[in-house]
Amino acid sequence: MSISVSVLKGEQEIVSEAVLADTFFNRLFGLLPLKVLDENKGIILKPCKQIHTFHMKYSIDAVFLSEDNVIVHIEQKIAPNKVSKYVKSAKCVLEAGGGTAERCRLSVGDRLELKELREQGTA
């Protein structure tokens, strides 16, 4: 079972639904199965200090977060078949559609909130 979260900066929603990928295989495949990434979707890779975009069909933003979800590094519009910088202080990475960081005015030092979403069909 996958856990989904919304990602917020204060009251501003950054991503309405991000899958929390905290197992080896979920992190390994990440966004690869998606041919298109909706503007309001993403994935959080945990633990993670570096990402790649091999075999992807679209660019992404990678937002590297500390243990307390403070942004420590941002890479914007990473093209397919690239490798990000290794960010030693990162504990997890939010991958979202290319342009998300700019559109949402994310900056190093901003604190994000991960809010668990209820499963559909449960009370």
Name the residue ranges covered by the structural domains of the chain: 3-116
Among residues of the chain, what percentage have pLDDT more than 90?
A: 61
The structural architecture, per CATH, of the domain 3-116 is: Sandwich (2.60)
Q: What is the pTM of this model?
A: 0.88
Distance CA 48, CA 20 (A): 12
Distance CA 22, CA 101 (A): 22
Distance CA 43, CA 13 (A): 15
> b/e string for 21-31 if b means 16 or more Cβ within 10 A?
beeeeebeebb
**Whole-Å CA distances, 83 to 20, 21, 103:** 21, 19, 23
Task: Give the pLDDT confidence score for residue 122 in this predicted structure.
Answer: 42
Task: Give the pLDDT confidence score for residue 88 in this predicted structure.
Answer: 97
76-121: pLDDT as tens digits:
999 999 999 999 999 999 999 999 999 999 999 999 999 988 654 4
Q: How many C-beta atoms lie closer than 10 Å to residue 77's C-beta?
A: 15
Span 57-74, mean pLDDT?
Answer: 95
